[in-house]
Amino acid sequence: MKIISDIQELRAQLRGQNRASFVPTMGNLHEGHLSLMRLARQYGDPVVASIFVNRLQFGPGEDFDSYPRTMDADIAKLEKEGVYVLFAPHEKDLYPEPQEYRINPPQQLGDILEGEFRPGFFIGVCTVVMKLFSCVQPSVSIFGKKDYQQLMIIRQMVQQFALPMQIIPAETIRADDGLALSSRNSYLSQNERAEAPQLRMTLEVLRQEILSLGPSDPKQLLALEKKAKEALIARGWKPDYIAIRQQKDLLIPSAIDSTPLVILAAAKLGKTRLIDNLEV
Ligand code: AMP
């Protein structure tokens, strides 16, 4: 595997490749990330991964400084997966001068849910992803459904800018007890780690309740959201949101109809903020 930090060197290495399959990450790789590498291999060749902890998408007071950085272990995992190039730029490579041009996703998608609780988050994500796409010029890129809203925003960005590439969604990989794998799980204490699967369980209960309602009535859905939130609060969590939304646009289901739904949640357990989602 070639490990490259310089944009020009990356371009030289990938010259003539027009089927590259790309997986952007922030590193501290786990089985969730590795499943994306395997999916990438099915959709293109060579597989290119990136590791970059993107300062632009962290708000003040968030965990940019403490975000786990485990480059040596990550490299060994990517070697095993047969990744051809790891693009691991330093900040000075990707942002040699302040990144003043930024991608601003539409408010109705970028400022809700994660965007409401992490202002500017999706501007940072879209900007770095656009720049990484420009460096790698892949024909395919893989994103996890774990970050459901992010996947939707990137898909629409690619469509709106007519980027000549396909975005492939990957299913969420979970620990045996149901907790979605995440680099941030390493922040959890032993007791918190034992409690953490409750987030997913709460979503499961909510899903069953929605299904037993039949055609969804927005008022009833709101009441179910509230109940789920209270259940988590009672266990010591601090939920940012638990939201039942339409899969197609993440908006609140408008009327009684059978549009496919998804439940999205973000909640703090101690100092650790976890997110998860479940399609109904
Ligand atoms: P991150 O390193 O957290 O920026 O994630 C990089 C990519 O891996 C994103 O597309 C995530 O959605 C995806 N990802 C993170 N956790 C998981 C997981 N548990 N299962 C599947 N994909 C994941």
Q: What is the DSSP string of 181-204?
A: P-GGGGG--HHHHHHTTHHHHHHH
Pocket test for ligand 1, best of 36, 47, 148, 150 (most atoms within 8 A of CB): 36
* pLDDT band (50, 70, 90) for residue 256: low
Determine whether the shortest distance from the Cβ of 170 to ligand 1 is under 6 A.
yes
Nearest to 273 by CA among 181, 185, 191: 185
Determine whether the shortest distance from the Cβ of 168 to ligand 1 is under 6 A.
no
What per-residue confidence (pLDDT) applies to 213? Answer: 85
What per-residue confidence (pLDDT) applies to 60? Answer: 95
Averaged confidence pLDDT in the chain: 97
What per-residue confidence (pLDDT) applies to 51? Answer: 98
CA separation for the pair 132, 129 (Å, rounded): 5
Q: Is the pLDDT of residue 257 over 80?
A: no
HSE at residue 218, side-chain half, CA atoms within 13 A, is 8
Cβ–Cβ < 8 Å for 105, 122: yes
Determine whether the shortest distance from the Cβ of 46 to ligand 1 is under 6 A.
no
Determine whether the shortest distance from the Cβ of 180 to ligand 1 is under 6 A.
yes
Residues 231-250: b if buried by 16+ CB within 10 A, e if exposed: bbeeeebebbbbbbbbeeeb
Determine whether the shortest distance from the Cβ of 126 to ligand 1 is under 6 A.
no
Structure tokens at 37: 């590498």
Please identify, by atom number, the ligand 1 atom nearest to the C-alpha of residue 147.
12
Pocket test for ligand 1, best of 25, 77, 275 (most atoms within 8 A of CB): 25
Please enumerate in sequence order all residues whose Cβ is within 8 A of that of 82, keeping only pairs 6 or more positions apart, or say none. 41, 47
Q: Is the pLDDT of residue 239 over 70?
A: yes
pLDDT, tens only, 178-189: 999 999 999 999
- Say how many Å lie between the CA of residue 273 and the centre of ligand 1: 15
Residue of the nearest CA to atom 13 in ligand 1? Answer: 144
Helix axes 198-213, 218-234, angle to 10 degrees: 160
φ, ψ at 214 (rounded to 5°): 80, -150
Share of the chain above pLDDT 70, in %: 99
Determine whether the shortest distance from the Cβ of 25 to ligand 1 is under 6 A.
yes
Residue of the nearest CA to atom 14 in ligand 1? Answer: 144
Nearest to 202 by CA among 271, 150, 276: 276
Active site residue 90: no
Residue 120 per-residue DSSP state: T
pTM listed for this prediction: 0.97
What torsion do the CA atoms of 51, 55, 60, 64 make, to the nearest 10 degrees?
30
Catalytic one of 17, 33, 183, 196: 33
What per-residue confidence (pLDDT) applies to 217? Answer: 81
Worst-scoring range by mean pLDDT, 12-21, 132-141, 255-264? 255-264
* pLDDT band (50, 70, 90) for residue 258: confident
